[in-house]
Amino acid sequence: MYLYFISNRMTTSEEKHYLSGKKIIVSGGGIGGITFCIAFQQLLEKSNVVIDPPPSIIVYERDTSIDAIGREGYSLSLRSDPFSGGIQILHKLGLLDEIMEESNPGKHFTLFNYDFSPLVQIRPPPVEDIPVSSLRIARSKLREILVKNVPSSVQIHWNCAIQSAKELDNGNVLVELPDGSQEECHLFIVADGSNSCIRRILRPDHQLRFAGAVSIVGRTHALDTLPSPLNKTFGGAIGGDGHFAFIAPSDRTSALWSISYLTDTPREAKSAGTINDQELDRILDEAKERTKIFGEPLPTLIKETLRSSVAIFNAKDLVPFRNTGSVVFIGDAQHAMSPFAGNGANMAMMDGYQLADQLIHSKDLTGAVSNYDDLSIPRSTNAIQMSRRTINIGHSQGIWKFMYVTMLKMMAWYFDLNYKADE
């Protein structure tokens, strides 16, 4: 019996990691997918786990290159609060200093009145050993920094969006590439965004739902200087008439603006660069009409709009769902949320990091995926709920506006006390 015990223990200790020599395919080279690639390598190096040989990781991305034009004008909020966590992930990956150098002016969100007089500034409390609790950065710059730090062992194929996928009887996944060729993998990570074509194929029951708001958005031409208050902060303004305006730097010389309103019915979405001149004129006239109550800098931002940047989108979200088998959805592909709470990028980075951590330290794939879901689903559910509450607050009118603003001022006062006490 003793000899059997010794022999069995030796065999167990010599067993290879379940990912040893396996192939991992990532659909999507956005923030979540790339964060996973960086985190997996770093966490493996820091752990006492041996994966020999390590798994091969291949990323297929639809954009033609890292510089592809499309969403380059968008900027993102990164925060350290319990609903977000993006700042902590960047700190763990050793990238926060570089991100801070490239961040836009204004670190904190300000809620404004219709004339852009400040009502309350929302500042997440600081996190120990981290120099900043929130920041704003161009989406393209964040992605550029992440891609630059991807390990050389990871293959990234640009202009190569995965067309379809099929779960096989042997537990593997077969993916189809644009040229019709197929690849089989042992783990398929789906990070292709809220409109995930893979989710429509493999998880058709999980669909986006309308969150009740429509936004008209645009971006300014390059400006000599960012107008006040964009040179110091970013945020949203409550019109009190059912409209909510958002302004934020896109980079050091241009700004993003949006005007949104509540409706029971979604509107036909229009992507930037796809709207003809005649319709653009109508949309910009509509934006001016909907923003007539708002003061500067909004009229100037709309006047200086880069016409090719104008778009219309519906606020949508996706109820988070549990993953099964060898297919793992992360980021917006698993739990899309409207942009009103500014949490999409934070959630994606948290997903990529935590999935990598669980894959390395779990005993098998089933346990790793289950543990990841246990972490991802509660926080993304909270973030989605917060986004919906933000929609209600931003578009509030009359006494409801007064009540919401008062509540937010009390919350900000509380957190500000804590902030000063920790300094």
64 has pLDDT over 70:
yes
Q: What is the pLDDT of residue 419?
A: 44
The whole-angstrom separation of Cα 305 and Cα 76 is 19
Q: What is the pLDDT of residue 80?
A: 87
Residues β-bridged to residue 354: none
The token duo for 403 is 């009540």
DSSP state for residue 149 in the 8-state scheme: T
Q: Which CATH class is domain 22-106+137-208+318-392?
A: alpha beta
- Domain map of the chain by residue range? 22-106+137-208+318-392, 210-316+395-411
Residue with tokens 């990070």: 191
Residue with tokens 């999409």: 344
pLDDT above 90 coverage of the chain, percent: 72
Q: What does the chain come to in residues?
A: 423
For residues 8-31, average pLDDT: 80
Residue 423: is it exposed, middle or buried by C-beta count within 10 angstroms (0-12/13-18/19+)? Answer: exposed
Q: What is the pLDDT of residue 166?
A: 97
Per-residue confidence at 84, pLDDT binned at 50, 70, 90?
confident
pLDDT above 70 coverage of the chain, percent: 92
The whole-angstrom separation of Cα 366 and Cα 338 is 30
* CATH code at 210-316+395-411: 3.30.9.30
Q: How far apart are the first and last CA of the chain?
A: 62
Per-residue confidence at 1, pLDDT binned at 50, 70, 90?
very low
- What phi, psi does 281 have (nearest 5°)? -60, -45
Residue 13: is it exposed, middle or buried by C-beta count within 10 angstroms (0-12/13-18/19+)? Answer: exposed
DSSP state for residue 222 in the 8-state scheme: P
The whole-angstrom separation of Cα 101 and Cα 395 is 34
Residues β-bridged to residue 246: 236, 258
The whole-angstrom separation of Cα 216 and Cα 402 is 25
Average pLDDT for the chain: 90
Q: What is the pLDDT of residue 70?
A: 53
DSSP 336-376: ---GGG--HHHHHHHHHHHHHHHHHHSSSHHHHHHHHHHHH
122 has pLDDT over 70:
yes
Q: What is the pLDDT of residue 67?
A: 65
For residues 255-282, average pLDDT: 96
13 has pLDDT over 50:
no
pLDDT digits (tens, 9 = 90+) for 303-325: 999 999 999 999 999 999 999 99
**Which of the pair, 346 or 12, is modelled with greater confidence?**
346
Residue at 257: amino acid letter: W
Contact between 210 and 47 (Cβ < 8 Å): no
pLDDT digits (tens, 9 = 90+) for 134-192: 899 989 899 999 999 999 999 999 999 999 999 999 999 999 999 999 999 999 999 99
List, in order, residues 6 or more apart from 227 with CB less than 8 Å away: 255, 296, 297, 300, 301
pTM of the model: 0.91
Contact between 167 and 179 (Cβ < 8 Å): no
SS3 203: coil
